[in-house]
Amino acid sequence: MVGWILKKIVGSKNQRELRRLAPAVRRINEFDEQFKSLSDDALRAKTAAWKDELAKISDPEEQWNRLAEILPEAFAVVKNAARRLKERRHSFAVCDQPMTWDMVHFDVQLLGGIVLHRGRIAEMATGEGKTLVATLPLYLNALTSRGAHLVTVNDYLARRDAEWMGALYNFLGLTVGCIQHDQEPDVRRQQYACDITYGTNSEFGFDYLRDNGMATTREQQVQRGYHYAIVDEVDSILIDEARTPLIISGPATISTHQYDKWKPLIEQLVRKQTMLCNRVASEAAEKFEQGDVETAGRLMFKVKLGQPRNKQLLRMMEDPDKRRAIDKAELAFYTDTRKEELFALKEELFFTIDEKSNEADLSEQGRTFLNPDDPNAFVLPDLINEFTEIDLDETLSPEEKDKRKSERQQICDEQAERIHNISNLLRAYCVFDKDVQYVVEENKVVIVDEFTGRKMPGRRWSDGLHQAVEAKEGVQIDRETQTLATITIQNYFRLYQKLAGMTGTAETEAAEFHDIYKLDVNVVPTNRPVARKDHNDRIYKTRREKYNAVINEIREHHTKQQPVLVGTVSVEASELLSRMLKREKIPHNVLNAKFHMQEAEIVMRAGQPGTVTISTNMAGRGTDIKLGPGVPENGGLFVLGTERHEARRIDRQLRGRCARQGDPGGSRFYVSFEDDLMRNFGAADRMTKIMERFGLEEGQELEHRWLNKSVETAQKRVEQRNYLIRKRTLDFDDVMNMQREVVYTYRNEVIDSEDPRTLIYEVIDEAVPAKLKEYLDVDEPNFGGLIHWVNTTFPLGLTKDKAQFETRSVDENAQFLIGKVKEAYERKSSHEEPSAVKSLERYIILNAIDRLWQEHLYAMDALREGVYLRGYAQKDPLIEYKTEAYDMFVELMANIKNEVLHNLFRSTSNLQAFENFLASLPQFLLREDAPTAPTAPARARQPQPVGAMAGVAMDGDGAGEMSIDLPVRRSLPKVGRNEPCPCGSGKKYKNCCGRTA
Ligand code: ADP
């Protein structure tokens, strides 16, 4: 209350901020007036002049300051150009359709443009013309020639907006590009080279991953930095997509999941559970009959634990008395602090499902059913205890102890894997529904985004869940894949020096934008007052009654030719409604994940008289619904929500689809007690009371503005929970993000280095002393081991006598060895062609990074999964994860260096050179009977030299202590003679690294 009064007196923070921008808007308009007298060329000349000036400023900070200074003038240039295009009725083509330019920026649009330039989120209602707003800051920021990006939700909008707004940019002398899914790298590079580039978040993200994680030369990279980006529909991208990272993956070498094997048993188990729950529910029904409400409530709570979507349960929840009995039982179980009774109850089932947290848990009975011989097959052994016992067993030698431990460890790993598979399958059967969370298409399971209803082809649930659902649906189970590169969309956007966003709905999530992305939200007022009438929610007992009422209301509007847009939360719901409408012979269009091709056109027609359009929540976002003739007089577009969404934002989006630019329009939401939101998070108790008080009849509804509040409270509760989940995901991802940055930076340094030899030497300088410390900086220095390592890594043929390691300090030894290694390396390289050596050196490092980084990603996945199992030990999984991830990363970096050392003398750009090098080695290093001794004539071999095995035998100190093979690894991929050389030279392989003579 106080807050409300304060707002009235001093105005909200948002209003104050916007008021401060008002003078800038005035100045833009003044400039615009002045520019009217300029010729086209004079107006256009400003672009080039600013570009020249800004190019001379190298400090980004200073550049930003200069941009802020020229903002009013630059925005005026854009507005003035728009005016000229409009006056000339400039015609051009957009997505092959004729188009005439008809827009000049409104004042609120100028305001929105300033907000975007400042790196904030501009909340502007649907139809306010965000596409045009973005032209202002994009033009201004592109003047730095560092590239300005606009991120759209789909490829179609990227192309449409680039071509549409392109008219304006081209008039002003800026180039504009557009990234599309099917473009080749060359084309992409051209698009990124433009002043302004439009594209979707996943295309931008994948290009980043390919550039930084896969390209091996500068020429292969397509992007050119992350300067300024505006994210359109920023809430959908930063909030809704926060859970699915972009992943580039390849097939893993081994598949450990065994879903097909477990599927039949799990199917039986699920069936048994269903039968059990049905039996219990019938028993409960009898108890209710007999008036034993308490027992009945307990029984039904059991059903809820075992099968939350049980039909009888759902039906009983409609009855206020029964509902209260069940809720009461639930409360009693959860308030019992010892949880013993709850535990006992769970044991009466085969497994339990927690719908809210998406988890599945086997009980003793369930475990026995799955593996009658060994129910412990699904319990993790207590490793710590077992290890301690092994350690204490004095009859075992140290080797035997190690052996036993590793056996136990292996059993534990297998067990964990099995538990994981079963849990995934149970979730697949009991929590994931076809046509809600996913659809099956062309023998594939395709995820449906629960917020947008859009299909997300190519994305997969992680952790084997996707495979479990594939097994359930009986489609081809894709081989377990291994992550080659991954990033969350959020972290991709964090790369930009300046980020801005626009959307119709950001306000409810403002705190999250601020906390996580440091993005503040400014709500920009509409150009004309909003004339939409939002009606109270209508609440029904059951879904069936609710849908009947929805159909009635649709019919009412349809009969008087008022267009209706019906929003649903799932594909399933929109299909159900469509069937009901068909039965009623009401013509309609369905927009859901399954038809996104014609989406934009259907949405455009949704404002014509009498049309009925059913749409999953955000299908067709970004396309504006214009009213047809006679519609405004008829009340405008009516939006009807068939369910309240978990997030208020999504509901606001749906409402915002009508009443654009001051048009008339109305909206209403329908809710039932059977909706997921109400079942899981509704103030069930209170609602039940209200229902009782009013004594609802079949088909009767509740409607009061106080009830809207109750629904909103439930939504806020879910929003908060989802926010915490997203935050958690990001906390975990932050760890990966830092590591990725280090690795990618190093990788790029290698790619860009003109003199990779220095990088190789850095590796030698760091890795050799580290190794020496391992052998010598310990209680009992291991000189033998050190010599062994040296001789298996470098062709130095060191003997105890020659090395004299005992006579020097660790540091002196390091210097000595570094000198020797570099000397040998110089000798090896001297036999090769200088340019080829450079490519090879880069290749050796990149190869080590890529191979080990991928292994590391795999291990990090496992770690992330593993720390949750440790949650039992009351440790915070995140802290555990961070600590271990850090250790693993330190190890990774050391391993990369060691691998480089290891491959230094095992790689060659050309076999002849390698043989020359071998020939130059002292004879005692070479063994006569080596499989491919260098004495064999080189020409007799196949022209894939680098794949060959060259045996170099060394006879250590003559005492026969060491005899080591030095195999040549295939350090360059196997390539055909006429293919481009993998070293990136652009020449054919046979004329470059593959040259044999
Ligand atoms: P939003 O993304 O904000 O929902 P759009 O960018 O799709 O809105 O634009 C909505 C409609 O408003 C488009 O048809 C566009 O042509 C029109 N429009 C936008 N700005 C102006 C303007 N300044 N003058 C006239 N029409 C405009």
pLDDT digits (tens, 9 = 90+) for 360-401: 788 888 888 888 787 777 776 666 677 778 888 888 888 888
Res 160: pLDDT: 92
**Ligand 1 center from residue 621 Cα (angstroms):** 14
Residue of the CA atom closest to atom 26 of ligand 1: 103
CA of 506 to the centre of ligand 1 (A): 19
Among 131, 157, 625, which is best to mutate for testing ligand 1, by the most ligand atoms less than 8 A from CB? 131
Asked if 589 contacts 612 with a C-beta cutoff of 8 angstroms, the reply is yes
CA of 133 to the centre of ligand 1 (A): 9
Q: Say yes or no: CB of residue 232 within 6 Å of ligand 1.
A: no
- Answer with the residue of higher pLDDT: 980 or 44: 44
947-957: average pLDDT: 30
The Cα 568–Cα 547 span in angstroms is 11
Taking residues 275-304, what's their average pLDDT?
93
| Distance from the alpha carbon of residue 132 to the mean position of ligand 1, in angstroms | 7
Which atom of ligand 1 approaches the CA of 130 most closely?
3
What's the gap between Cα 29 and its chain centre? Answer: 42
Which of 48, 68, 223, 49 lies closest to 147, judged by CA? Answer: 223
Ligand 1 binding pocket includes 105 (Cβ within 6 Å)? yes
Q: Number of helices (H) and strands (E), helices first, in the chain?
A: 35, 22
- 849-867 mean pLDDT: 81
Q: Is the pLDDT of residue 982 over 60?
A: no
Helix (H, G, I), strand (E, B) or coil at 364: helix
Give residue 966's pLDDT.
35
Tell which atom from ligand 1 comes closest to the C-alpha of 624: 7
What distances in angstroms separate CA 823 from CA 316, 319, 791, one per listed residue?
A: 84, 87, 15
**H-helix segments, 794-907:** 800-803, 810-830, 834-870, 877-904
- Calculate the alpha carbon distances from 555 to 489, 698, 733 in Å: 42, 20, 49
Tell me, using a 6 A CB cutoff, whether residue 101 lines ligand 1. no
User: 451 alpha carbon to ligand 1 midpoint, in Å?
Assistant: 25
| 109 CA closest ligand 1 atom index | 23
Query: What is the average per-residue pLDDT within 312-334?
Result: 86
State what percent of residues in the chain have pLDDT above 90. 38
- The confidence score (pLDDT) of residue 932 equals 31
Residues 557 and 766: their CA atoms lie apart, in Å, by 76
Q: Which two tokens stand for residue 669?
A: 């939401």
390 or 683: which carries more pLDDT confidence?
390
Rounded alpha-carbon distances, angstroms, from residue 78 to 36, 108, 124, 170, 177: 12, 15, 20, 11, 18
**Pocket of ligand 1 contains residue 94 by CB under 6 Å:** no
Expressed in angstroms and rounded, the spacing between residue 532 Cα and the centre of ligand 1 is: 18
Which amino acid residue places its CA nearest to atom 17 of ligand 1? 129
Taking the alpha carbons at both ends of the chain, their separation in whole angstroms is: 88
Residue 104 CB–ligand 1 contact under 6 Å: yes
Tell the residue nearest (CA) to atom 12 of ligand 1. 129
- Over residues 706-716, the mean pLDDT reads 83
Instruction: Please give the pLDDT value at position 957.
Output: 33
Q: Is the pLDDT of residue 979 over 60?
A: no
CA of 135 to the centre of ligand 1 (A): 12
Q: Is 124 in the pocket of ligand 1 (CB under 6 A)?
A: yes
User: Is 126 a pocket residue for ligand 1 (Cβ < 6 Å)?
Assistant: yes
C-beta of 130 in contact with ligand 1 (< 6 A): yes
Of 132, 151, 603, 626, the residue with max ligand 1 atoms within 8 A of its CB, to mutate for a pocket test, comes to 132
Q: Which residue owns the Cα nearest ligand 1 atom 19?
A: 129
Give the per-residue pLDDT at 318: 81
Q: For residues 508 and 280, is the Cβ–Cβ distance under 8 A?
A: no
Q: Does the beta carbon of 657 lie inside 6 Å of ligand 1?
A: no
In a mutational test of the pocket of ligand 1, which residue from 624, 653, 660, 661 has the highest number of ligand atoms less than 8 Å from its CB?
A: 624
What separation in Å is there between the alpha carbon of 150 and the centre of ligand 1? 17
Q: Which residue's C-alpha comes closest to atom 9 of ligand 1?
A: 129
Res 945: pLDDT? 26
> Is the CB of 127 within 6 Å of ligand 1?
yes
Taking the CA of residue 622 as reference, the ligand 1 atom at the shortest distance is 2
Per residue in 754-768, is it b (16+ CB within 10 Å) or e — as a string? eebbebbeebbeebb
Cα angle for residues 670, 672, 674 (degrees, 5° grid)? 145
Q: Does the CB atom of residue 620 touch ligand 1 within 6 A?
A: no
Q: Which residue has the higher pLDDT, 682 or 712?
A: 712
Between CA 450 and CA 712 the distance in angstroms is 19
Give residue 871 CA to ligand 1 midpoint distance, Å. Answer: 51
- Whole-number Å distance between alpha carbons of 252 and 249: 9
Distance CA 760, CA 17 (A): 54
User: What letter does residue 536 receive in the DSSP assignment?
Assistant: P
pLDDT of residue 277: 94
In this structure, of 48-57, 247-256, 663-672, the range with the lowest mean pLDDT score is: 247-256
- pLDDT at position 939 over 70: no
193-197, 205-209, 728-732: which has the minimum mean pLDDT?
Answer: 728-732
Which residue's alpha carbon is nearest to atom 27 within ligand 1?
103
The stretch 288-309 carries a mean pLDDT of: 91
Closest ligand 1 atom, CA of 661? 12
Rg (Cα) of the chain, in Å, rounded? Answer: 34
Question: Does pLDDT of 595 surpass 70?
Answer: no
Check pLDDT > 80 for residue 987. no
Residues in the chain: 997
Is residue 129 lining ligand 1, measured as CB closer than 6 Å? yes
Q: How remote is the CA of residue 102 from the centroid of ligand 1, in Å?
A: 10
Nearest CA to ligand 1 atom 2: 130
* Degrees, nearest 5: CA angle 637-638-640: 145
- For 646-670, what is the mean pLDDT? 89
Please state the atom number of ligand 1 nearest to the C-alpha of residue 232: 2
State if residue 201 touches ligand 1 by the CB under 6 angstroms criterion.
no
Ligand 1 closest atom vs CA 126:
4
Average pLDDT over residues 490-507: 90
Average pLDDT, stretch 825-850? 85
Among 99, 103, 135, say which to mutate for ligand 1: greatest number of ligand atoms within 8 Å of CB. Answer: 103
Give the pLDDT score at 7: 52
Which range is most confident: 128-137, 213-222, 384-393, 638-647?
Answer: 128-137
Task: Specify the residue with its C-alpha closest to ligand 1, atom 20.
Answer: 129
Q: How far apart are CA 425 and CA 442, in angstroms?
A: 22
| Rounded mean pLDDT, 126-137 | 94
pLDDT at 964: 30
Tens digits of residue pLDDT in 883-898: 889 988 999 999 999 8
Distance CA(490)–CA(238), nearest Å, equals: 6
CA of 624 to the centre of ligand 1 (A): 8
Q: Is 150 in the pocket of ligand 1 (CB under 6 A)?
A: no
146 CA from centroid of ligand 1 (Å): 28
DSSP 535: P
Q: Please say if the pLDDT value at position 950 is more than 60.
A: no
The DSSP code sequence of 271-320 is HHHHHHHHHHHHHHHHHHHHT-HHHHHHHHHHHHHH-TT-HHHHHHTTSH
Rounded to the nearest whole angstrom, what is the distance from the C-alpha of residue 327 to the centroid of ligand 1? Answer: 50
Cα–Cα distances (Å) from 843 to 839, 846, 970, 975, in that order, read: 6, 5, 11, 15
Model confidence at 611: pLDDT above 90? yes
d(CA 260, CA 603): 42
Q: State which ligand 1 atom lies nearest to the alpha carbon of 128.
A: 3
User: Is the confidence at residue 675, as pLDDT, over 80?
Assistant: yes
Query: What is the Å distance from ligand 1's center to 662 Cα?
Result: 13
Residue 564, classed as helix, strand or coil, is: strand
Best CA proximity match to 78, nearest among 37, 144, 20, 32: 32
Q: What is the pLDDT of residue 909?
A: 63
* Average pLDDT of the chain, as a whole number: 82
Task: Average the pLDDT over 774-802 and give the result.
Answer: 81
- Position 951 scores a pLDDT of 30
Residue 960 predicted with pLDDT over 50: no
Residue 250 has pLDDT above 70, yes or no: no
Q: Is 132 in the pocket of ligand 1 (CB under 6 A)?
A: yes
What's residue 244's pLDDT? Answer: 67
pLDDT confidence of residue 968: 34
For residue 974, the model assigns a pLDDT of: 43
| Ligand 1: centre distance to CA 527 (Å) | 11
The confidence score (pLDDT) of residue 547 equals 94
Q: In this structure, which residue's CA is closest to atom 18 in ligand 1? A: 129
Residue of 128, 152, 603 best suited for mutating to test ligand 1, as the one with most atoms within 8 Å of CB? 128
Which residue's CA is the closest to the ligand 1 atom numbered 14? 624
Q: Residue 501 pLDDT more than 60? A: yes
**Ligand 1 geometric centre to CA of 548 (Å):** 36
Q: Ligand 1 center to residue 642 CA distance, Å?
A: 28
Q: Would you state the pLDDT for residue 360? A: 79
